[in-house]
């Protein structure tokens, strides 16, 4: 991966952080970055369950944007980590509204990649009046076809990675790897769920970038959040009706949108981004020719920053 830093803004510390109790079980971590009088923007991380990184603050000019970031239920610094009870897309949308009210924001730009694009669309279609526009990356609509690609389509480009992932499951269960992993990931026995969540996290992480990257050391919070929540949401088809997000695009079609998509994204292939674009006539697609799925790949980060800068200057893309 080339260094994306020439296109990102310098590292910046939060102005303030906090914990918001959204129900009796879940408390979410949030942070505010940039100019308190700037254009409000909500950042939605991927996964689900991947959590925030300090790098995520750097897509926005802190002189001009008021950036709100949060760890979704069960992810990052939110508690309890990896909790799947009371964890649905509809509840995440509700959390965003609680956070918006806490911040005293009327409308905001919605920025999300991968699962973050899923949540961005779900939020926008539920609360279009609260949205200024959308910056979306690596589109994922959480359909059965996309989930099947994520699990078994991996063998078409990464047969060795898929083979390793399947090898942890007895042969008689390999016909449905999602359910086989889901059973193990949700098992209460740590000796069963820890190997499963770590295998799941590694299975995804090794396919994110176009060019192979050195593997990061294992992180329990990331592995548990990502493994449990991705399996939970995929097993439940994102808690959506069939093709729901595409069918309801007309609710936000009047709003500006830019879609940044890696040409060689094997996690969320370009067809999904193209289908969304065709249902959203005013949207702009930026197909990055030398990138996979990672937000920090050079071409992806360049286009994401270009989008936030265009919106800052003109209120459109």
User: Is 117 one of the annotated active-site residues of the chain?
Assistant: no
Catalytic residue among 78, 114, 201, 283: 114
Q: How far from the centroid of its chain's Cα atoms is residue 244's Cα?
A: 18
Catalytic residue among 26, 232, 293, 301: 293
Only one residue has tokens 């296109």, namely 7
Q: Which of 209, 222, 203, 236 is nearest to 92 (CA)?
A: 236
Contact 235, 182 (CB under 8 A): yes
Distance between CA 56 and CA 38 in Å, rounded?
Answer: 17
DSSP annotation of 242: T
Determine phi and psi for 40, rounding to 5 degrees.
-70, 140
How many Cβ atoms sit within 10 Å of the Cβ of residue 180?
18
Contact 196, 151 (CB under 8 A): no
Q: Let me know the angle formed at the C-alpha of 67 by 123 and 69, rounded to the nearest 5 degrees.
A: 60
Distance between CA 141 and CA 233 in Å, rounded?
Answer: 12
| Maximum alpha-carbon separation in the chain | 59
Catalytic residue among 45, 265, 283, 301: 265
Only one residue has tokens 């770590």, namely 198
Only one residue has tokens 């308190």, namely 36
Q: Which of 139, 40, 57 is nearest to 99 (CA)?
A: 40
Residue 299: CA count within 13 A, CB half-sphere: 18
Question: What residues act catalytically?
Answer: 114, 265, 293
């Amino acid at each position: 991966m080339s260094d994306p830093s020439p296109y990102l803004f310098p590292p910046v510390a939060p102005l303030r952080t906090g914990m918001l109790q959204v129900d009796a079980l879940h408390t979410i971590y949030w942070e505010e970055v940039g100019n308190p009088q700037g254009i409000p923007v909500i950042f939605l991380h991927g996964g689900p369950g991947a959590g925030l990184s300090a790098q995520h603050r750097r897509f926005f000019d802190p002189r001009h944007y008021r950036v709100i970031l949060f760890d979704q239920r069960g992810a990052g610094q939110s508690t309890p980590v990896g909790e799947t009870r009371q964890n649905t897309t509809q509840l995440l949308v509700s959390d965003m509204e609680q956070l918006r009210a806490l911040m005293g924001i009327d409308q905001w730009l919605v920025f999300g990649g991968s699962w973050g694009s899923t949540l961005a669309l779900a939020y926008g279609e539920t609360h279009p009046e609260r949205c200024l526009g959308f910056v979306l990356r690596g589109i994922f609509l959480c359909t059965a076809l996309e989930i099947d690609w994520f699990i078994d389509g991996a063998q078409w480009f990464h047969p060795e990675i898929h083979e390793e992932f399947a090898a942890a499951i007895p042969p008689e269960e390999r016909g449905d790897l999602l359910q086989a992993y889901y059973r193990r990931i949700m098992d209460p026995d740590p000796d069963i769920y820890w190997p499963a969540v770590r295998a799941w996290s590694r299975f995804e992480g090794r396919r994110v970038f176009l060019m192979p990257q050195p593997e990061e050391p294992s992180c329990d919070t990331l592995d548990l959040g990502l493994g449990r929540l991705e399996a939970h949401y995929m097993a439940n088809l994102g808690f959506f009706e069939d093709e729901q997000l595409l069918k309801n695009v007309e609710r936000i079609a009047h709003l500006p949108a830019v879609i940044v998509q890696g040409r060689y994204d094997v996690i969320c292939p370009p067809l999904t981004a193209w289908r969304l674009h065709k249902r959203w006539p005013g949207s702009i697609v930026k197909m990055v020719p030398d990138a996979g799925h990672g937000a920090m790949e050079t071409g992806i980060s360049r286009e994401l920053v270009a989008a936030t800068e265009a919106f800052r200057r003109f209120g459109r893309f």
